[in-house]
Amino acid sequence: MFTSKIIYLGNLRTEATHIRSGNPLITDAPVDNQGKGEYFSPTDSVATALATCMITTMGIVAQGNGIDLGNCFAYVLKHMASNPRRISGIDVELHMSGSVAYTKEQKELLEKTAKECPVARSLHPDIEQKLEIFYDA
């Protein structure tokens, strides 16, 4: 079974539908590449996928180890290069719940999990991945 179906809507916009759930995702070309920038660009989606994968896999590990992730959240910064145009780096700033007293071992486990998530392992090695974790959310 396919994962998604993508339809070109014109004007450098696509609509991807997740086959299993029917949920849509719209993308636009970025403003600096002839687009409207009203939705995530495809490269924004890749960068965002890194952080969502980190948090998801941390959640799986946290559940299995009795760790409370609290209200963790992340900010993502994508760096682009040209010739050829591509993602050159992704910075993830991950904020963990300040109301949870994480042990040193828990912090190490969560950081290792984030850095080894499936998306992190799938990105080309030329894409610099920078992760900073703050225990203050």
Mean pLDDT by 10 residues, the chain (137 residues): 97 97 97 93 97 98 94 96 96 91 95 98 98 87
Same-domain check for residues 96 and 115:
yes
Same-domain check for residues 63 and 117:
yes
Give kind and range of the element (H or E) at residue 133. strand 128-135
- So what's the pLDDT on residue 137? 53
- So what's the pLDDT on residue 100? 85
Number of folded domains that form the chain? 2
Beta-carbon contacts of residue 59 (< 8 Å; ≥ 6 apart): 69
- So what's the pLDDT on residue 98? 77
- So what's the pLDDT on residue 131? 98
Please name the amino acid found at residue 65. N
Same-domain check for residues 70 and 27:
no
Same-domain check for residues 77 and 58:
yes
Same-domain check for residues 13 and 52:
no
- So what's the pLDDT on residue 97? 84
Domain extent, residue 77, equals 42-135
